[in-house]
Amino acid sequence: MPDIRLKAASFGCTLSAICLFLWLISSATVALLVFSIGLLLYLVSHISYLHKLHLWFKNPVLKEMPEGSGVWEDVLTSLLQYERNNLSKEMQLSAALERFNLTADAIPDGLVILSPGNEIEWCTPRAESQLGFNLSTDKNLPIVNLLRDSHFIAYLYSNAFGEPFKLKSWRDPDIIFEIQIIPFANRQKLLICRDMTQLEKVDAMRRDFIANVSHELRTPLTVVGGFLETLSDMEGAVPKALKTYFTMMEEQTDRMRRIIEDLLTLSSIESNTEAPDDSKIDMAGLLKTVQKDALGLSQGLKKAEHKIHLEVDPTLNLSGSRDELLSAFSNLVSNAIRYTPKGGEIFIDWHIHHKQAIFSVRDTGIGIEQQHIDRLTERFYRVDRSRSRETGGTGLGLSIVKHILIRHQAKLEIASKIGVGSTFSIVFPKSRIIHKKVNMPA
């Protein structure tokens, strides 16, 4: 296709040549007249094309694009090509959008995109029906205006989204959702809402079964344990030859009793969907109790086998269930003692770090190999079964800790080196911190 400038130049040359010829054979006036008329016609043809194009732009239907000749042929052909490309890109884009919408609708979970300020930017129809939103009216509204559950709000602002959050539907409390938040892109969040009602029912049946079995076993075991104790207290009731077997029977009964107690504790914490009572906990006092119990566990207050250090930030308190947290802290400290040989040291620490409150227990014990660390909070997972048994372990302690922490939106971090020791840290979100004023001595 010749260049537009060439076509325009060739028109100019032809008109000039005709005019020169007319000047030679006639007069300059005739030549000038023909030149002016030629230019005028040229201008009129351009204006006519511009007008056609202007009309077409008002209703740009591809089939109705005007045809042109000369330079306009090139311009209009290029424009047609450009429009065709645009149309095909538009079609590809809307097909991709359609596919995305169909895929999003087919996902059984509800999806919500939240802005950095936690306003609803977009959500799927599934999320609308699950959470009671209406995108056309609720778009750009803060999600906390629509989901007013105080624990959900605490979870949203905690920025600790490692574990999902369980939310009861405000329309029907029998419906339980699992909410998972994933930060992405420019401080936006993707909220995934999964209906867990059926799974929760099955899980509740399993928990009830374990709780019922444990309950049923508790009474006969208490009776057997009682008789064994009475017999061992009775002078001459147990023949000397059977004494060892008798002691073993007592130890095993005691072990079974501890397992049953831990199973009952675990199932009651797991099945408790109510939020923990958020009382204000005096951490300095609570941790003194933990330290005292730990010294007791480490073979009596006077000749403790371990050195137990306590360091507490006196300005830092916590909101949560005192009993549950005492149980979690004691579990970690008791593990530190049980897995640290005589003469070892235990460091209990309570401080603030990066606006999060951290309770940590560091020991100079046997340590844990890296491959076990992720599995330690599973029920009955033990690195060394015999050591756990010898020290009176049930394999359920860290499971209990994990469930208590989930209820407090906290997380457990474990660092360990074989032969050097382990550090178990509980990281509490900012929302659970209570700052306490401490009177400085004058």
Least spacing, CB of residue 104 vs ligand ADP, in Å: 41
* Cβ nearer to ligand ADP, comparing 120 with 368: 368
**Which of residues 68 and 393 has its CB atom nearest to ligand ADP in the complex?**
393
Binding footprint of ligand ADP on the chain (CB under 6 A) = 335-336, 339, 363, 365-366, 368, 376, 381-384, 388, 393-399, 422
Rank residues 181 and 368 by Cβ distance to ligand ADP and give the closer one.
368
Comparison of 23 and 381: residue with beta carbon closer to ligand ADP: 381
Q: Least distance in Å: CB of 316 to ligand ADP?
A: 24
Residue 120 or residue 405: which is nearer to ligand ADP going by CB? 405
Q: Which is nearer to ligand ADP, 291 or 394 (CB)?
A: 394
Q: How far is the CB of 365 from ligand ADP (least distance, A)?
A: 5
Q: Give whichever of 352 and 414 is closer to ligand ADP, judged by the CB atom.
A: 414
Smallest separation, CB 252 to ligand ADP (Å): 16
CB of 398 to ligand ADP, least distance (A): 3
Q: How far is the CB of 441 from ligand ADP (least distance, A)?
A: 37
- Least gap, CB of 211 to ligand ADP (angstroms): 19
Provide the minimum distance between the beta carbon of 126 and ligand ADP in the complex, in angstroms, as a whole number.
Answer: 38
φ/ψ of 351, rounded to 5, equals -155, 175
* CB closer to ligand ADP, 311 vs 369: 369
